Amino acid sequence: MAPFDTPSIDRLFAAILRLETREDCAKFFEDICTIKEVQDMAQRLDAAVLLDQGVNYQTISEQVGISTATISRVSKCLNYGSGGYREALAKMKEADA
């Protein structure tokens, strides 16, 4: 977690946590990221959702439009990472329930 333990990153995370609406998030991310960066993050989350559902790499690659190498990285993080994907997926499931 050390690379994420800086004042600048703390400020970024704090700013994100203070955004209250989807519109607020969209405006912030439009300003801070390129559309490609946001699309890449969204595709990785899509892959995590599908991996969590047991979908295979080839199907995910075709549906999401990302490489199996990227899916493999997402899978590694999902299964052996810091738990960020798992936490987000759990919160998304709670919100949908």
User: pLDDT by residue (tens digit) across 33-90?
Assistant: 999 999 999 999 999 999 999 999 999 999 999 999 999 999 999 999 999 999 999 9
User: Smallest Cα–Cα separation from 77: which of 85, 69, 66, 89?
Assistant: 85
Going from the N-terminus, what domains does the chain have, and what CATH number goes with each?
1-32 (no CATH), 34-97 (1.10.1270.10)
74's tokens: 């997402």
| pLDDT tens digits, one per residue of 9-31 | 999 999 999 999 999 999 999 99
Q: What is the pLDDT of residue 1?
A: 60
- pLDDT bracket for residue 2 (50, 70, 90): confident
